[in-house]
Amino acid sequence: MSDQIFEQLRDLIFRGQIKPGDRVMSEREMAETFGVSRPTVREAIHKLVDRGLLEHRHGVGTFVLQRGRKTDAYPLLQVLGGHEPTLEELLEVRMALECNSAVLAAQRASEADLNLLEKNVAEMGREVETGQIALDEDASFHMNIAFASNNVVQIHLMRSFYELLHYGMNRMFEDWYATPGNDRLALEHHLRIFEAIRRRDGRAAGRAMEEHIGFLLSFCRERWL
């Protein structure tokens, strides 16, 4: 049961339904909601804290962790034997994973999936208008495409890749947003991907994702990031 609660909360965070800085329910509230004991809930929360997704604030509650730039905040990096991947390496893997994900999402996305993607894009638009960096909304958008693929292996791979996805975005976005107009360009890319998925045009969705990640890859190579 603790694994099931862990997975449900993890996916809510990955999909942007619970956002960084949000307070999660108390142990008692969660136990009542899921119909389990408080120790079961506590075990699930400890796993999320260990994963770097939640943090305890003494006397206040448990919150979704704001993603930082420190490498020790990304446990998956330990799996790489201490090797800190380059942005080029990360984007090459994203190219392989996410183009296929977009094609499948266009074919299989449910209305609930499309609603979440539309919400992600709308939130990105609001961040752009206020001059903010839409990092969390961007990551959630890409994760929601994976979920919309309705392919268990694809979803599992992107879940495993989540820390590195966020890590790469953190490293790149300071340089990316320092270039005027790149925020609106990124929003335009995401809108193009979303519209293709909503039209159920798999070929256009895959091509739009390839163009988006390809543009990021060229940007990083040109600046030796």
CATH at residue 21:
1.10.10.10
Pick from 32, 55, 151: which is nearest to 98 by CA?
A: 151
Residue 17: pLDDT band (50, 70, 90) is very high
The total domain count for the chain is 2
- Please indicate, yes or no, whether residues 50 and 110 belong to a single structural domain of this protein: no
pLDDT in tens, 54-112: 998 888 889 998 765 444 445 556 666 667 788 999 999 999 999 999 999 999 999 99
Q: Judge if 43 and 82 occupy the same domain.
A: no
The C-alpha atoms of residue 120 and residue 115 are separated, in whole angstroms, by 9
What is residue 73's predicted lDDT score, i.e. its pLDDT? 46
Q: Looking only at Cα atoms, what is the longest distance across the chain?
A: 54
CATH number of the domain that residue 161 is part of: 1.20.120.530
Residue 84 is predicted with a pLDDT of: 77
Q: How many CA atoms lie within 13 A of 35 on its CB side?
A: 0
Same domain (yes/no): 214, 108: yes
Amino acid (one-letter) located at 69: R
- Of 15, 48, 64, which residue constitutes the final position of a domain? 64
- Domain span at residue 22 reads 2-64
**What pLDDT is recorded for position 60?**
87
pLDDT value, residue 186: 93
Q: Are 110 and 158 in contact (CB under 8 A)?
A: no
Look at residue 132 in the predicted model and tell me its pLDDT: 85
Determine the pLDDT at residue 79.
61
Average pLDDT over the chain, rounded to an integer: 89
The band of 211, judged by pLDDT with boundaries at 50, 70 and 90, is very high
Verify that 22 and 92 share a domain, yes or no: no
**Where is the domain boundary, 64, 88, 110?**
64
101 in the same domain as 22: no
125 shares a domain with 164: yes
Tens-digit pLDDT profile for residues 133-152: 888 899 999 999 999 999 99
The residue among 176 and 138 whose pLDDT is bigger is 138
What SS3 string covers 105-135?
HHHHCCHHHHHHHHHHHHHHHHHHHCCCCCH
> Where is the domain boundary, 28, 43, 64?
64
Choice between 117 and 70, residue whose per-residue pLDDT is larger: 117
Region 206-215: mean pLDDT is 97
Question: Is the predicted pLDDT of residue 174 greater than 70, yes or no?
Answer: yes
Q: Are residues 44 and 92 part of one domain?
A: no
Residues 96 and 181 placed together within one structural domain of the fold: yes
Residues ≥6 apart with Cβ < 8 Å to 210: 95, 99
The whole-number pLDDT of residue 160 equals: 86
Residues 22 and 132 in one domain: no
State yes or no: pLDDT of 9 exceeds 50: yes
Listing DSSP states for 9-20 in one string gives HHHHHHTTSS-T
Across residues 150-156, what is the average pLDDT?
A: 95
pLDDT at 77: 60
39 shares a domain with 94: no
- Both tokens of 219, joined, read 């940007």
pLDDT value at position 193? Answer: 98
Do 122 and 44 share a domain, yes or no?
Answer: no
Same domain flag for 174 and 108: yes
pLDDT at 209: 98
Residue 7 CB contacts under 8 Å (≥ 6 apart), including other chains: none
